[in-house]
Structure 1
């Protein structure tokens, strides 16, 4: 299996890296951006749109670039490398992915075009208080109101929800047309919509969104259950988040290695202490395992394979690696590692946030364990394969 990028993919990586390093080349630049609303730099968001990044995964007829999961992973990794707070995965991969997967041609053009051009920010309102990363909706219900629909209930947390111009909302169909989970488009200025934004521990933004008879447009045609489509788009977002985590882990490791080479104790640099060098080497192993698994998952998605299972494997590996690298980065930096003024704490905070968005590592492990009987078994002593059961 070829894990190398082609020339166009390398050019994309270098272009995005150059832009984001100019915007967030130091932790102070990032701190200044997240200190003010909406929690990211609108100018950088516009520049990403000019480069075609915000329309990367969408079809050309919908105003996008027609790229695939591998190109999305490249951008996400560069975002993680500098902790860029722009909601690329949240708005483009997740919310935009739902519109691309379910919406009609007219809806895709109306919603995805402005997103790709940088004139609109999307947010996916899927999570519900008390739920555990379910693709199905229950707390928000949708009922027909004349020729349209009205939503009632609460979604939280909604990442980038306070800034979003358009919300893509999952809701349970109520009344005579009840039929599972459907998706709806809600405009940011709709009546009966209340959004309470707040800052999360990693500096990004989320919101509690309340619907009180809020007018909404049904996404797609018909009221059939959309749980399968939601699950697939969630998996694509998990793969993108895994790539973002790889970028963050890479920088955390490089920063730590640089510190060990320059910080002196007892007259010698810390990298002269074998125990510390071994710990850094273990961090490198964790990073490379996560990198290869995340890229493999993107390749599975690009090839049309089982994207849900691939996403769970990537999520498990990056969850474990992120915890390991984040903790070790702080430990090996000593006292300054836990201060807000130093970068490794911010990287650990972001890795922790990624781990708990859309399902953490233990949750992914449970899902993988539940599917283990779907595979054949092999006798360790060399007997032929037998059917499971």
Structure 2
């Protein structure tokens, strides 16, 4: 597997980072909760200015790499524009569909659904024909679902089924978005451990904090490696739903580890609304809960492995 990203992809990542930094970084997410128009009036034009919204994750290797790194850069500041949902739409569909959501079972809310005039929802393991997403009210502003919008799923959003690779790539995009957010959490935890002093020395010199930082690093590295490997497989048409769900399971477990240990490192300050860790944690919640929670993802993965088998260090045949 190729681990080095193309120079053009890295250049776009840096451009996205610069644009987001100019707009306040994590502060964009905080301000969008109070002024939701920020998403469409400020953030979308900023992303359009560097060409992010035109990327095709299923295009050539360089463009696909650029899409992954752009999504990761947006995740690093939990940018409140659903880039992963927009880029999940196959290029040939984008004139009539602006976003694709993957759902599992009955759906009551979808994040940022109010931003799109036309969006489709595809059930996991069901009919791949997208159903139209219709907002039925204003966003809920629930603490752990800050941009959740009540919706109902209606008739078919088109005549064509969503290609398998597009469905799988949706999971990969989520994996990179979460990896970006967790990297920010990890860097903040490490920085705080180096500057916060107790008993005359930085808390990062205490064993209790060191092993928490070590667990954060291991979880981060594991998610990075798994997301990159799954992207490699999906882009080349070698992956199945089992691979995508394995990535989601790894993503959920990594997020649980990183956030849990980071809150222990920060202590009470990490629970304050003024601290970025709280914003990152809250804005990660929707993607960690939808389309499936940790336990549900495990069940779906088992079903997918039985149906498709699983290629890995020790291959599992399908049953």
Report TM bin, short chain.
0.7 to 0.9
Q: Deviations over 1:18-64 (max 9, x none)?
A: 11121133x4443122211246252221121132211101799xxxx
In structure 2, what is the equivalent of residue 313 of structure 1?
Answer: 246
Closer/same/farther in 2, CA of residues 364 and 10 from structure 1, 3 Å limit:
same
Shift of 1:6: 1.3
Residue correspondence of structure 1 range 1-389 to structure 2 within 5 A: 1-25=1-25, 27-38=26-37, 40=39, 42-57=41-56, 68-90=63-85, 92-94=86-88, 96-97=89-90, 100=91, 108=93, 110-111=95-96, 122-124=98-100, 127=103, 133-134=104-105, 156-168=108-120, 182-183=129-130, 194-202=136-144, 204-210=146-152, 219-220=158-159, 226=161, 229=162, 232-373=165-306, 375=309
Closer/same/farther in 2, CA of residues 73 and 359 from structure 1, 3 Å limit:
farther
| Preserved CA contact (<8 Å) 2:129 2:156 | no
* 1-structure distance, mates of 2:192, 2:119: 43
Q: Is 239-248 or 32-41 further displaced after alignment?
A: 32-41
Closer/same/farther in 2, CA of residues 238 and 360 from structure 1, 3 Å limit:
farther
* Higher share in strand: 1
Q: Note the residue ranges of structure 1 that are not aligned, 5 or more in a row.
A: 113-121, 128-132, 140-154, 172-179
Shift of 1:329: 0.8
Closer/same/farther in 2, CA of residues 297 and 322 from structure 1, 3 Å limit:
same
Closer/same/farther in 2, CA of residues 291 and 170 from structure 1, 3 Å limit:
closer
What is the aligned length?
314
Shift of 1:257: 0.6
* 2-structure distance, mates of 1:58, 1:289: 22
Q: Is 308-317 or 363-372 further displaced after alignment?
A: 363-372
| Preserved CA contact (<8 Å) 1:123 1:158 | no
* 2-structure distance, mates of 1:339, 1:304: 44
What TM-score, normalized to structure 1? 0.70
Work out which structure has the larger RCO, using CA pairs closer than 8 Å and 6 or more positions apart in sequence: 2
Q: Note the residue ranges of structure 2 that are not aligned, 5 or more in a row.
A: none
Q: Deviations over 1:157-181 (max 9, x none)?
A: 232222322233569xxxxxxxx66
SS of corresponding position for 1:305: coil
Shift of 1:318: 1.2
Closer/same/farther in 2, CA of residues 271 and 337 from structure 1, 3 Å limit:
same
* 2-structure distance, mates of 1:18, 1:366: 40
